[in-house]
């Protein structure tokens, strides 16, 4: 067998050190104890993104999609289980972002330090027969702890909150941030992008269009009747029959349940959600970069209705949310839907607020 040259030896030694890092020091940063650094050099321009719950059904494909995003230079993957494997795996992708893994509560602060965007899909998913609100007891505490970490380590980060029930977890996050004095409503966004993704898909099917050409605003919140597709505002403009409107509204409002039932106990939407979360995070990153006209629906602190939180179209920019758009003209069907949505949302918001204030 041919002996490697001394140049080759050096290269192999460098790769070996890379695979089994002693205590790697990132340039300009202190290395967390026991942290998994999968590349010692970073420094290329771009944003720093953390995924909390990165080893989960959403977390893993979402981490992969964020690793592909050219706007991301550093990707931190945090979970209470399995991040070493997920981090090693994703770090082999030949894209720009430097990937680092963080395992367990004692590494949460290292995972969050210096982040520009924190995406949170941590928490338990539904099983058939459950509502999203049935997840409150477990997920409320998880979101509270993670947001306490954000307030301490990256209070200026944009937070994309995915964990259910979103209608309550966003108010929980706001209360945590208020308590410690770091709350900036422009930087806290509940991710309702999956409702828009579903609405675009289902409406495109009915109209016989390419879903990429369809834009359906979905407002309100992210559970059952609080998910309110504005089918009178579909672009390109179209006319749907009352039967089509009933079918589409019901399918969009129950898209999550459709997946939960099809998975039959193995969880809820993960792949379409990872796609939707990556699409939404990309919009936030483009806003941060200063791109003009970045507009998406999200569940945010709002004065669009009398409720303190509501999902509608928002414009994203360097400061996070730069403008919140009103709902526009609604037809009678949508006005009735709006009243139902507000009634349920009010209770969910109050439940989240009380959880932190208790």
Ligand X SMILES: O=C(O)C[C@H](O)C(=O)O
Ligand Y SMILES: NC(=O)c1ccc[n+]([C@@H]2O[C@H](COP(=O)([O-])OP(=O)(O)OC[C@H]3O[C@@H](n4cnc5c(N)ncnc54)[C@H](O)[C@@H]3O)[C@@H](O)[C@H]2O)c1
Alpha carbons 164 and 223: distance in angstroms, whole number: 9
Alpha carbons 248 and 71: distance in angstroms, whole number: 35
Q: Which does 80 bind (CB under 5 to 8 A by kind): ligand Y, ligand X, none?
A: ligand Y
Q: Are 53 and 80 in contact (CB under 8 A)?
A: no
Q: Which does 259 bind (CB under 5 to 8 A by kind): ligand Y, ligand X, none?
A: ligand X
57 touches ligand X by CB under 6 A: no
Query: 56 among the known binding-site residues?
Result: yes
Using the rule CB under 6 A, which residue among 111, 147, 228, 269 binds ligand Y?
A: 269
* For ligand X, the closer CB: 229 or 256: 256
Residue 301 tokens, joined: 């602190």
Alpha carbons 75 and 132: distance in angstroms, whole number: 29
Pairing relationship of beta strands 158-161 and 117-120 according to DSSP bridges = parallel
Q: List residues bridging with 47 in a β-sheet.
A: 72
Range 237-256, binding ligand X (CB under 6 A): 255-256
Cis bond before residue 165 (omega within 30° of 0):
yes
In whole angstroms, the minimum distance from the beta carbon of 254 to ligand Y comes to: 13
Range 320-349, binding ligand Y (CB under 6 A): none
Q: Are 141 and 173 in contact (CB under 8 A)?
A: no
193 touches ligand X by CB under 6 A: no
Residue 193 tokens, joined: 């992008």
139 touches ligand Y by CB under 6 A: yes
Range 51-110, binding ligand Y (CB under 6 A): 52-53, 55-59, 79-81
Q: Which residue has the tokens 């979103």?
A: 166
35 touches ligand X by CB under 6 A: no
Listing DSSP states for 302-332 in one string gives: -SSSSSSEEEEEEEEETTEEEEE-------H
Range 170-209, binding ligand Y (CB under 6 A): 191, 194
260 touches ligand X by CB under 6 A: yes
Alpha carbons 358 and 355: distance in angstroms, whole number: 6
Q: Indicate the DSSP class of residue 220.
A: E
Identify whether 76 is a catalytic site residue. no
Q: Which does 59 bind (CB under 5 to 8 A by kind): ligand Y, ligand X, none?
A: ligand Y
Using the rule CB under 6 A, which residue among 153, 166, 170, 283 binds ligand Y?
A: 166
Residue 75 tokens, joined: 């990707």
Query: 321 among the known binding-site residues?
Result: no
**Which residues lie closer than 8 Å to 306 by C-beta, 6 or more apart?**
342
Q: Which does 52 bind (CB under 5 to 8 A by kind): ligand X, ligand Y, none?
A: ligand Y
Catalytic residue ranges: 222
Binding residues for ligand X (CB under 6 A): 125-126, 132, 164, 194, 222, 255-256, 259-260, 268-269
Detail the residues annotated as belonging to a binding site: 53-59, 79, 126, 132, 139, 162-164, 198, 273
Binding residues for ligand Y (CB under 6 A): 52-53, 55-59, 79-81, 121-126, 135, 139, 142, 145-146, 162-164, 166, 191, 194, 222, 267-270, 273
């Amino acid at each position: 067998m041919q002996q490697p040259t001394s140049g080759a030896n050096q290269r192999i030694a460098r790769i070996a050190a890379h695979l089994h890092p002693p205590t790697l020091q990132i340039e300009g940063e202190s290395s967390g104890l026991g942290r998994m650094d999968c590349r010692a050099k970073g420094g290329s321009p771009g944003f720093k993104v953390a995924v909390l719950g990165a080893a989960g059904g959403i977390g893993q494909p979402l981490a992969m999609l964020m690793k592909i995003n050219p706007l991301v230079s550093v990707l931190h993957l945090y979970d209470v289980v399995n991040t070493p494997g997920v981090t090693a795996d994703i770090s082999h992708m030949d894209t720009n972002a430097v990937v680092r893994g963080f395992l367990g509560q004692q590494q949460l602060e290292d995972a969050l330090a210096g982040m520009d965007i924190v995406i949170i899909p941590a928490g338990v998913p539904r099983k058939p027969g459950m509502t999203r609100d049935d997840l409150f007891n477990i997920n409320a505490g998880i979101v509270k702890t993670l947001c306490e970490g954000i307030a301490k380590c990256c209070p200026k980060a944009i937070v994309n909150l995915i964990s259910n029930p979103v209608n309550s977890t966003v108010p929980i996050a706001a209360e945590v941030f208020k308590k410690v004095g770091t709350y900036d409503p422009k930087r806290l966004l509940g991710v309702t992008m999956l409702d828009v993704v579903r609405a675009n898909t289902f409406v495109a099917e009915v109209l016989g269009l390419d879903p990429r050409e369809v834009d359906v605003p979905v407002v309100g919140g992210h559970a059952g009747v609080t998910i309110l597709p504005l089918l009178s505002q579909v672009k390109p403009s179209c006319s749907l029959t009352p039967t089509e409107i009933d079918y589409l509204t019901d399918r969009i409002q129950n898209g999550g349940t459709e997946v939960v039932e099809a998975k039959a106990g193995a969880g809820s939407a993960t792949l379409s959600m990872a796609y939707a979360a990556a699409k939404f995070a990309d919009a936030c990153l483009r806003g941060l970069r200063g791109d003009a006209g970045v507009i998406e629906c999200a569940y945010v602190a709002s004065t669009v209705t009398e409720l303190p939180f509501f999902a509608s179209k928002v414009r994203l920019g360097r400061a996070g949310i730069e403008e919140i758009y009103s709902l526009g003209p609604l037809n009678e069907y949508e006005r009735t839907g709006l009243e139902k949505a507000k009634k349920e949302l009010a209770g969910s918001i109050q439940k989240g607020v009380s959880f932190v204030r208790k």
